[in-house]
Structure 1
Amino acid sequence: MTEQDQAGNYSRDDEDKGERLDRHWNELLQELRLAQTGTQILFAFLLGIAFQNRFQDADTFTHDVYAGTLVAAALAVALFLAPVSFHRILFQQRLRDRLVPIAHHLASAGLVFLIAAMCGGVLLALDVVLSRTVAIVVVAVVLVWFLAFWYILPAYVRRTSRNGNS
């Protein structure tokens, strides 16, 4: 059986604070493994685009979208990898109680930049095959899609769960 403590962290009746922190750290690491891999592949792909002859002939809008997308992907990679560095530096310092919430915020920020990078990458690709206006509209829909499933739906579930448990 699980219950929610005052900090909003889920705990089990059979685990102490240290075990809960270990579980939360391991859950976060599993999430980061997935996010890191995809983001690093996207970043590597984006790096290669700038060296294509056809891209060098593209207009200012395309170059600006590319620059923003590349920077967003780089920032996402940095934020997703930051907990690894953080952990290495704090290893065996008995600071997991500080590491877990900070790593959570780093990963959450990484997701924001990942959405920006994904939308930028989609815009770059669609701008080649569709009119710019249609490409922008489709990317706006993609952005709403990300926001709906990554933020709105979880917020809704959180809110209705709190109301049901009150």
Structure 2
Amino acid sequence: MEPLGPRQTSSGRHESAEERADRRWNELLQEVRVTQTGVQILFGFLLTVVFTPRFATLSQADKNIYVTTVLLGAATTGALIGPVTLHRLVTGHRIKPETVTWASRLTVAGIVLLLVTMTSALLLILRVAMHNSAVPWAVAGLVGWFLLCWFALPTWARHRYPLRE
């Protein structure tokens, strides 16, 4: 039998539902670790802004954007910590495949919230830094980039390379 080429696949992994759930859980944890680190840094920074002297000089619109950004950051943090809490509270109930499914959904929700949080943070920072009409265009360009990297490319890959059984 010849070895498989780079685009070929075997008939799949020979793993039980529990082994598959364990593997998927470990993969999910690695993904959550990456996003959690960025969210924690962003959220920590956001929490300190209100205590700087410059905050008092912001316009009401900028303060509203700030409050919205902090609330979105908190929601993002909750969604990305949710899978860990879910796993911890249902451990031993023998529902690992279901736990992985729900944890994956929470992670996707957290990524969507992260997109909105970063959009809001960029809007605030660029409004304060640039004070001009280019801000919405710069933010829109970056949001487009995030959408391409985070959603369009994976969607394209799923369509281009369908699930192989």
Per the normalisation by structure 2, the TM-score is: 0.88
Q: Secondary structure at the match of 1:31?
A: helix
Name the count of aligned residue pairs. 157
- Partner of 2:154 in structure 1? 154
Which structure has more relative contact order (CA 8 Å, sep 6+)? It is: 2
Query: 1:76-110, CA deviations, whole angstroms, 9 ceiling, x for partnerless residues?
Result: 10000001111111111111021000000000000
Residues 1-166 of structure 1: pairs in structure 2 closer than 5 A = 1=9, 12-162=12-162
Counterpart CA distance in 1 for 2:108 and 2:10 is 24
Query: 1:16-56, CA deviations, whole angstroms, 9 ceiling, x for partnerless residues?
Result: 11111100000000000111111011101000011112112
Query: 1:1-27, CA deviations, whole angstroms, 9 ceiling, x for partnerless residues?
Result: 455xxxxxxxx4321111111000000
Q: Which moved more, 1:97-106 or 1:58-67?
A: 58-67
Per the normalisation by structure 1, the TM-score is: 0.88
Counterpart CA distance in 2 for 1:67 and 1:141 is 23
State the percentage of identical aligned residues: 35
Q: Which moved more, 1:63-72 or 1:124-133?
A: 124-133
Provide runs of 4+ in structure 1 moved above 4 Å. none
Q: Secondary structure at the match of 1:119?
A: helix
Q: Secondary structure at the match of 2:122?
A: helix
Counterpart CA distance in 2 for 1:97 and 1:132 is 50
AA matched with 2:107: A
Aligned CA-pair RMSD: 1.8
AA matched with 1:22: D
AA matched with 2:38: G
Counterpart CA distance in 2 for 1:2 and 1:58 is 59
Q: Secondary structure at the match of 1:133?
A: coil
Counterpart CA distance in 2 for 1:2 and 1:86 is 33
Q: CA deviation at 1:148?
A: 0.8
Counterpart CA distance in 2 for 1:111 and 1:133 is 28
- Relative to structure 1, the CA distance from residue 154 to residue 95 in structure 2 (aligned partners, 3 Å threshold; closer, same or farther) is same
Q: Which moved more, 1:133-142 or 1:22-31?
A: 133-142
Query: 1:50-78, CA deviations, whole angstroms, 9 ceiling, x for partnerless residues?
Result: 11121122112211111111111111100
Q: CA deviation at 1:126?
A: 1.3
Q: CA deviation at 1:115?
A: 0.8
- Partner of 1:6 in structure 2? none
AA matched with 2:91: F
